[in-house]
Amino acid sequence: MKNDQFLQSGSLSESRRQFLEKAGLATIIGTFGISFFTSCVSSEEPDDTTTPPTTTAPNGITISGNTVQVNLTIQNKLAASGGWLLITSAKTLVANLNGAYVALTSVCTHSQCSDSWSFTNNQFTCTCHNSIFDTAGKVVQGPAGQPLDVYSTSVSGSTLTINK
Ligand code: FES
């Protein structure tokens, strides 16, 4: 009889322990929420680094890794010679020079300003401190002392492709 009581009370203790474990888990989930657990799980998942991110801007510019494509029909600022664009999301300058396209980095070699440029008389001016570069990236006027990187370009139909 004592053994039966002991076994029974032992079995009740086991049930109580299981109940308390489940209740404790429920309390933790209630306290931190499901998002806490899902965010922990998702942060442990491996990143997909094999596919470059692709950004499609609504203005006809697509960026995929080191390739930038510009739809020249939509981006008609590049249609005429002297037309130019600063593509901030790709940190790229593009200009039409008598029907040929040049592309350069928009990261100035002086102090790395990348979004303050003007283009006149076939020269890019970084308006942060007024360094001037020609369309080959060469420094025309400092304070910048190093040239801008130049990217290759090609046109197929109405698509300009820039390879950085
Ligand atoms: S960052 Fe371009 S001139 Fe200074």
pLDDT per residue as tens digits for the range 86-114: 999 999 999 999 999 999 999 999 999 99
- Give the model's pLDDT for residue 76: 86
Euclidean distance between CA atoms 30 and 24, whole angstroms? 10
The pTM of the full predicted model, rounded to 2 decimals, is 0.66
To test the pocket of ligand 1, the residue of 107, 115, 125, 128 to mutate (highest count of ligand atoms within 8 Å of its CB) is 128
Residue of minimum CA distance from atom 3 in ligand 1: 129
What is the three-class DSSP state of 143? coil
20 pLDDT band, cuts 50/70/90, is very low
- Give the model's pLDDT for residue 32: 44
Q: How far is the CA of 75 from the centre of ligand 1 (A)?
A: 27
What atom of ligand 1 comes closest to residue 130's alpha carbon? 3
pLDDT digits (tens, 9 = 90+) for 62-72: 999 999 999 99
Comparison of pLDDT for 51 and 83, the residue scoring more:
83
Residue 102 Cβ < 6 Å to ligand 1: no
Given a contact cutoff of 8 angstroms between Cβ atoms, the answer to whether 151 and 144 are in contact is no
Q: How far is the CA of 121 from the centre of ligand 1 (A)?
A: 19
Q: Is the pLDDT of residue 46 over 50?
A: no
16-23 long-range contacts (CB < 8 A, ≥24 apart) are none
To test the pocket of ligand 1, the residue of 86, 104, 113 to mutate (highest count of ligand atoms within 8 Å of its CB) is 113
Rounded percentage of the chain residues whose pLDDT exceeds 70: 65
Contacts of residue 19, Cβ cutoff 8 Å, sequence gap at least 6? none
pLDDT digits (tens, 9 = 90+) for 109-139: 999 999 999 999 999 999 999 999 999 999 9
